[in-house]
């Protein structure tokens, strides 16, 4: 008697979902913590073939990193500063 076994692997989009959530929140608050985490989870999601969620998480992570002055200072990139010069009249 030869029995065939069927193994069903249920895939879940945990990495992609977490990447999107952490990335979106990281744009607004706790960017030094959440934006790199979103980027890493986005890469893991792409490796698990969750391309849409992974790319969105990576995009949100990059936006969060670029809008965070703390992270920009850590990688020694200047932030945009608008100087307003006052005219001196004599």
Between CA 43 and CA 84 the distance in angstroms is 41
pTM: 0.67
* pLDDT (0 to 100) of residue 23: 92
* pLDDT (0 to 100) of residue 89: 60
Contact status, residue 41 vs residue 57, Cβ threshold 8 Å: yes
Between CA 52 and CA 37 the distance in angstroms is 17
* Residue whose structure tokens are 């193994």: 7
* pLDDT (0 to 100) of residue 88: 66
Q: Taking Cα atoms as reference points, which of 13, 14, 37, 42 lies closest to residue 25?
A: 37
* pLDDT (0 to 100) of residue 37: 94
Q: Cα separations (Å) of 11 from 1, 55, 76, 83?
A: 32, 18, 40, 52
For the chain, 90 residues long, the average pLDDT of each consecutive 10-residue run is 73 85 90 91 91 93 85 67 63
């Amino acid at each position: 008697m030869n029995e065939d076994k069927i193994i069903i692997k249920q895939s879940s989009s945990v990495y992609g979902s977490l990447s999107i959530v952490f990335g979106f929140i990281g744009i607004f608050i706790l960017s030094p913590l959440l934006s790199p985490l979103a980027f890493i989870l986005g890469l893991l999601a792409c490796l698990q073939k969750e391309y849409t969620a992974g790319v969105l998480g990576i995009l949100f992570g990059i936006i969060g990193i670029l809008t965070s002055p703390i992270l920009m200072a850590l990688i020694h990139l200047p932030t945009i500063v608008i100087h307003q010069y006052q005219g001196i009249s004599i």
